[in-house]
C-alpha cells in the first residue's frame, strides 16, 4: 500500500507541468479485472541500462519469440512526468523510469491508440528486490504513477535480483524470465559492457573527433544483425575488432583517470539522470573508468555464496545434517560465476579489449571488511569502500566519484559515514560523493570540476616525477 493523493495534472502557461492535490486518500495496489492480451499478442517494454545494452538486449531476445521494445533513455521530460504523477520523496530512478514509461504510453495514445487497448496489450518488465532502501517499493510506485496518468492496470512483470536465473516458480509470465533468457541477456549485456569500456578507453585519445563513436555504431550494427539472426558471435567479435583497430589514437596525451561508481542506476545511466556525467568528465579532459553491469552480476553471485556460507556455519542443531539443496546451490553459484567470467574473458580477448580485468570479489571483500559489515547488503554493499581503497593502493584512478540519487540510503550512508574513516586512513585518496536530484546541474558540475582539478594536479606531479 502506498499513501498518495489523487492528482490533476495540467500544463501551465510557461509549458511546464502543474499539478494540484485533491481529496487526500490512500492508494491501494490491487488486482484488476482486465481481459489482457495473450502472451503472443502482448508487447514487452523494458529499459534502464545504457542505450547500447538496451538495444543489444532487445536484439538478443528477438530469437525467443514475442514482441519487445527497448524504451529510449529517460530524459528530463520523463523526470518531470514521474514527479507529477508519482509520490513525493522518491529517488531519481523511480521518477525517471516511471516518467519515461508514461511518456512512451502517452505518445501511443496521442497516435490514436486508446488507453484501454494500451493497458490490455503492453507489459513493462523490470528488476525488483528488497533491501534497506526504496528499491523494494519501485514496482508499487510505478503502478501508482501509471494509475494517476490514466493507465490503471498496465501489467508490470519483475524478476528478483536474488533469484538469479531461476525465476519461473510463480505465475505464467509474458516476459520470458527463464534460464535461456538470462544466458542470452548475459551475452548481450557483456558485449555492451565491452564496447562501452573500449569507448571510454579510446575516446579521450582519438585523433579524429567522433571516430570512436562512429566505430561503436558500426559495431552495434554488426552485433544487432548477429543477435537478431541467431548467428555465432565469434565472427562478429573479430569483425568489430578490426573496426576498432583502424582508429588512430594519440596515447601521449596525459589524462587523469576517474572511476565512476555508486548507486547502480545513477552510475550506469548515460543521460539526464546523472547529468551526462561520463561525457562531462571527458569534455573536461578526463578518461572515465565506468562500473560495467558485469560487476553487478559478480557481486550478486558473491552475495549468494556468502549467504550460503553463513548458513553452513550455523550450529549443527540449527541446520540439517545433510543439506543437499545448499550443496546444489553452491555448485550452481560457482558454475554461474565461471560462466559469466568465461564469456566475458573470451569475448573481450577476441574483441581486443585491453587494460581491463574483472574484479576479484573476494579481494574486494577483504579490503572492505574492516570498514563495512558485509551482512548489511544493499545497493553496492561493500564495493564502494573497496573500490576507493583499491584505487589508492594500486594507483588505478586519480579521482573516485560515487554518484547517487538524492537521499539514496545505502550509498549515502557509506559515502557520508564510512568513507570519512577510509579517507582519513588514506589521505592521498581523492574521493567525491555527489548526489543527483533531477535539478541543480550547475552545482553538480562545479563540485566535479573542483575534484577533477585535484586529479589533474596529481597527474602533473606524476609526470614530473617520471621526468626527474
- The answer to whether residue 12 scores a pLDDT higher than 50 is no
User: How far is residue 370 from each of residues 17, 367, 392, 422, measured CA to CA in Å?
Assistant: 48, 7, 16, 10
Q: Which of 61-65, 68-72, 232-236, 307-311 has the lowest mean pLDDT?
A: 307-311
- The answer to whether residue 223 scores a pLDDT higher than 80 is yes
Taking a C-beta distance cutoff of 8 angstroms, is the pair 68, 76 a contact? no
Taking a C-beta distance cutoff of 8 angstroms, is the pair 259, 292 a contact? no
Taking a C-beta distance cutoff of 8 angstroms, is the pair 356, 348 a contact? yes
User: How far is residue 402 from each of residues 92, 350, 352, 456, measured CA to CA in Å?
Assistant: 15, 32, 29, 18
Taking a C-beta distance cutoff of 8 angstroms, is the pair 21, 105 a contact? no
Confidence of residue 307 (pLDDT cuts 50, 70, 90): confident
Taking a C-beta distance cutoff of 8 angstroms, is the pair 402, 277 a contact? no
- The answer to whether residue 449 scores a pLDDT higher than 90 is yes
Q: Over the stretch 322-368, which tens digit does the pLDDT of each residue have? A: 454 566 777 777 888 888 898 899 999 999 999 888 999 999 999 99
Taking a C-beta distance cutoff of 8 angstroms, is the pair 200, 290 a contact? yes
Q: Which of 10-19, 109-118, 152-161, 279-288 has the lowest mean pLDDT?
A: 10-19
Q: Which of 190-194, 219-223, 294-298 has the lowest mean pLDDT?
A: 294-298
Higher pLDDT, 195 or 372: 195
Confidence of residue 270 (pLDDT cuts 50, 70, 90): very high
Higher pLDDT, 118 or 157: 118
Cross-strand pairs, 17: 11
Three state DSSP letters for 88-111: CCCCHHHHHHHHHHHHHHHHHHHC
* pLDDT at 30 (0 to 100): 67
Which DSSP string corresponds to 259-292? EEEESHHHHH--SGGGTTHHHHHHHTT-EEE---
Distance (Å, rounded) from C-alpha 118 to C-alpha 370?
A: 52
Taking a C-beta distance cutoff of 8 angstroms, is the pair 366, 226 a contact? no
Q: Which of 139-153, 231-245, 304-318 has the lowest mean pLDDT?
A: 304-318
User: How far is residue 100 from each of residues 47, 79, 272, 318, measured CA to CA in Å?
Assistant: 9, 7, 12, 47
Taking a C-beta distance cutoff of 8 angstroms, is the pair 147, 98 a contact? no
User: How far is residue 264 from each of residues 49, 119, 414, measured CA to CA in Å?
Assistant: 10, 29, 14
Q: How far is CA 7 from the centre of its chain?
A: 30
Q: Over the stretch 169-220, which tens digit does the pLDDT of each residue have? A: 444 467 666 777 778 888 999 999 999 999 999 999 999 999 999 999 999 9
Confidence of residue 4 (pLDDT cuts 50, 70, 90): very low
Q: Over the stretch 411-435, which tens digit does the pLDDT of each residue have? A: 777 877 888 899 999 999 999 999 8
* pLDDT at 373 (0 to 100): 83
- The answer to whether residue 318 scores a pLDDT higher than 70 is no
What residues contact 459, with CB distance under 8 A and at least 6 apart?
Answer: 254, 255, 256, 398
Q: What are the cell numbers at 114?
A: 486508446
C-alpha closest to that of 406 among 433, 374, 427: 433
Distance (Å, rounded) from C-alpha 57 to C-alpha 228?
A: 10
User: How far is residue 291 from each of residues 142, 287, 321, measured CA to CA in Å?
Assistant: 26, 13, 41
Distance (Å, rounded) from C-alpha 356 to C-alpha 194?
A: 9
* pLDDT at 9 (0 to 100): 46
* pLDDT at 7 (0 to 100): 43
C-alpha closest to that of 342 among 204, 183, 158, 219: 183
- The answer to whether residue 132 scores a pLDDT higher than 70 is no
* pLDDT at 357 (0 to 100): 87
In this prediction, residues 20-36 reach a mean pLDDT of 65
pTM: 0.86
* pLDDT at 143 (0 to 100): 92
- The answer to whether residue 55 scores a pLDDT higher than 80 is yes
What residues contact 212, with CB distance under 8 A and at least 6 apart?
Answer: 199, 202, 203, 206, 247
How are beta strands 17-27 and 399-405 bridged, if at all? Answer: unpaired
Taking a C-beta distance cutoff of 8 angstroms, is the pair 95, 75 a contact? no
* pLDDT at 174 (0 to 100): 73
Distance (Å, rounded) from C-alpha 74 to C-alpha 98?
A: 9
The percentage of residues in the chain with a pLDDT greater than 90, rounded to a whole number, is 55
- The answer to whether residue 405 scores a pLDDT higher than 70 is yes
Amino acid at each position: 500500500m502506498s499513501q498518495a493523493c489523487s492528482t490533476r495534472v495540467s500544463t501551465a502557461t510557461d509549458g511546464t507541468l502543474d499539478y494540484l492535490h485533491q481529496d487526500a486518500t490512500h492508494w491501494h495496489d490491487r488486482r484488476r479485472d482486465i481481459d489482457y492480451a495473450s502472451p503472443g499478442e502482448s508487447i514487452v517494454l523494458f529499459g534502464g541500462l545504457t542505450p547500447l545494452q538496451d538495444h543489444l538486449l532487445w536484439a538478443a531476445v528477438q530469437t525467443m519469440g514475442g514482441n519487445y521494445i527497448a524504451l529510449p533513455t529517460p530524459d528530463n521530460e520523463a523526470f518531470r512526468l514521474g514527479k507529477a504523477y508519482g509520490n513525493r520523496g522518491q529517488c531519481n530512478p523511480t521518477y525517471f523510469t516511471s516518467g519515461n514509461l508514461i511518456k512512451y504510453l502517452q505518445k501511443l495514445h496521442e497516435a490514436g491508440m486508446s488507453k484501454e487497448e494500451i493497458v490490455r496489450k503492453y507489459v513493462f518488465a523490470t528488476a525488483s528486490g528488497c533491501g534497506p532502501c526504496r528499491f523494494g517499493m519501485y514496482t508499487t510506485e510505478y503502478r501508482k504513477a501509471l494509475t494517476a496518468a490514466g493507465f490503471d492496470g498496465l501489467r508490470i512483470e519483475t524478476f528478483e535480483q536474488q533469484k538469479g536465473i531461476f525465476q519461473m516458480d510463480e505465475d505464467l509470465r509474458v516476459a520470458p524470465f527463464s534460464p535461456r533468457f538470462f544466458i542470452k541477456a548475459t551475452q548481450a549485456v557483456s558485449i555492451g559492457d565491452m564496447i562501452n569500456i573500449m569507448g571510454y578507453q579510446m575516446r579521450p585519445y582519438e585523433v579524429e573527433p567522433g571516430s570512436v563513436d562512429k566505430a561503436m555504431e558500426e559495431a552495434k550494427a554488426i552485433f544487432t544483425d548477429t543477435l537478431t539472426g541467431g548467428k555465432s558471435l565469434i565472427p562478429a567479435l573479430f569483425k568489430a575488432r578490426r573496426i576498432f583497430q583502424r582508429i588512430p589514437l594519440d596515447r601521449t596525451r596525459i589524462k587523469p583517470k576517474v572511476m565512476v561508481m555508486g548507486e547502480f542506476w545513477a552510475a550506469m545511466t548515460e543521460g539526464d539522470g546523472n547529468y551526462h556525467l561520463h561525457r562531462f568528465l571527458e569534455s573536461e579532459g578526463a578518461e572515465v573508468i565506468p562500473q560495467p553491469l558485469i560487476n553487478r552480476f559478480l557481486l550478486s553471485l558473491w552475495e549468494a555464496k556468502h549467504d550460503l556460507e553463513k548458513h553452513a556455519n550455523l550450529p549443527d542443531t540449527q541446520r540439517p545434517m545433510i543439506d543437499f539443496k545448499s550443496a546444489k546451490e553452491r555448485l550452481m553459484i560457482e558454475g554461474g560465476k565461471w560462466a559469466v567470467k568465461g564469456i566475458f574473458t573470451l569475448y573481450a580477448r577476441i574483441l581486443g579489449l585491453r587494460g581491463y580485468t574483472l574484479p576479484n570479489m573476494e579481494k574486494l571483500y577483504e579490503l572492505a571488511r574492516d570498514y563495512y559489515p558485509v551482512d548489511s547488503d544493499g545497493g553496492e554493499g561493500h564495493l564502494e569502500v573497496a573500490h576507493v581503497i583499491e584505487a589508492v593502493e594500486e594507483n588505478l584512478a586519480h579521482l573516485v566519484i560515487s554518484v547517487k540519487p538524492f537521499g539514496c540510503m545505502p550509498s549515502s550512508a557509506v559515502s557520508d559515514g564510512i568513507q570519512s574513516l577510509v579517507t582519513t586512513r588514506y589521505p592521498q585518496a581523492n574521493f567525491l560523493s555527489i548526489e543527483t536530484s533531477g535539478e541543480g546541474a550547475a552545482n553538480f558540475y562545479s563540485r566535479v570540476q573542483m575534484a577533477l582539478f585535484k586529479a589533474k594536479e596529481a597527474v602533473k606531479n606524476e609526470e614530473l616525477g617520471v621526468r626527474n
